Amino acid sequence: MLESWTDGPTKSAIVEFAERAVNSVAPEERVAVFDNDGTLWCEKPAYIQLDFLVRRIAEQVAADPALAAEQPYTAAASGDLAWFGEADTKHYNGDDSDLKLLAGAVLSANATITTEEHAARVNAFFADARHPTLGRAYTACGYAPMIELLRYLESFGFTNYIVSGGGRDFMRPVTTAMYGVPPERVIGSSVGLIYQNGELLTTAQPEFLNDGPVKPVRIWGRVGRRPIFAVGNSNGDIEMLQYAMAASGPSLAMVIHHDDADREFAYTAGAEKALDHVETSGWTRVSMRDDWRIVFSD
């Protein structure tokens, strides 16, 4: 197994950890958590969910052109994805000024519909949309080595969870087919829901922004166990990785380093602090260029 991983220190660290865990950790305590954006699938040149949301916001501008006078409606109407990317980079560097504008628009973009209607919009998006530079269906943008890692851990009795800053109800319709992770094991950001006449309806009220220190809180709230294996790729994953590494027995924290401009993308923006922890906290760095034989499965 792990055939898409290059033989070397990173692959050895995974194998050695799994073997230690299976011999010393009870099956129910073998919990692994994975970030999604940039960890299990592509997040550049913009988040996949952002494409979904920008399309919806552009539809709102088309219905009410006056909205285009303000951000992020201005950017959505003109197709300026760079503005959205800069808002995210600012967030990971402590400036949430643009993120607040974006959050307001995002929260209202799919409000007051049933959860089934929201899932239908998500499925329709994934049926047609393609990655703008890789030319692949978004559902084919999952990283083959990471999907292989999910299966590898399962063979050692691990239960895998996705713990993402992305929207819980955006990921759930596709995680089973893409990753083999069912919807009940997807923990993400969410809006408030209300019950009405036998249906659950979305609202424009935030419930959780599943990022940074919120991730371990949400893991405990949903799982009730501390993970012993965690993988992320950004500064927003630091607390989740720290939480896993504080386990009393075997533990492993991994940071995906996007350093492969030829096969995917090369960047460190928004991940600088996480990569620093590799050097100072004993975490394992995963080089896409050096540790992965392939990036995507064809």
State the pLDDT confidence band at 96, using cuts at 50, 70 and 90: confident
State whether 75 and 186 are in the same domain: no
Q: Is 124 within the bounds of a domain?
A: no
State whether 19 and 140 are in the same domain: yes
Indicate if the alpha-carbon torsion angle 198, 203, 205, 211 is positive or negative.
Answer: positive
Q: What's the whole-number mean pLDDT along residues 116-134?
A: 96
Q: What's the whole-number mean pLDDT along residues 135-140?
A: 97
pTM for the model: 0.93
From 42-46, 84-88, 207-211, 223-227, the region with the lowest mean pLDDT: 84-88
Q: Is 57 within the bounds of a domain?
A: yes
Given 109, 128, 152, which residue is the final one in a domain?
A: 109
State whether 80 and 205 are in the same domain: no
Domain that holds residue 52: 48-109
- Could you count the other beta carbons within 10 Å of the beta carbon of residue 9? 10
State pLDDT tens for residues 165-208: 999 999 999 999 999 999 999 999 999 999 999 999 999 999 99
State whether 62 and 165 are in the same domain: no
State whether 222 and 266 are in the same domain: yes
State whether 96 and 229 are in the same domain: no
Average of per-residue pLDDT values in the chain: 94
Q: Is 297 within the bounds of a domain?
A: no
pLDDT at 85 over 90: no
CATH of the domain at 248: 3.40.50.1000
State whether 73 and 173 are in the same domain: no
Q: How many domains are contained in the chain?
A: 2
Q: Two tokens at 155?
A: 């063979």
State whether 26 and 168 are in the same domain: yes
Which pLDDT does position 90 carry in this prediction? 83
State whether 32 and 93 are in the same domain: no
Contacts of 51 (CB under 8 A, 6+ apart): 81, 125, 129, 132, 138
State whether 193 and 259 are in the same domain: yes
State pLDDT tens for residues 23-40: 999 999 999 999 999 999
State whether 28 and 61 are in the same domain: no
Q: Is 254 within the bounds of a domain?
A: yes
Indicate if the alpha-carbon torsion angle 176, 179, 182, 187 is positive or negative.
Answer: negative
Query: What single-letter amino acid sits at 187?
Result: I
State whether 212 and 286 are in the same domain: yes
Q: Is 265 within the bounds of a domain?
A: yes
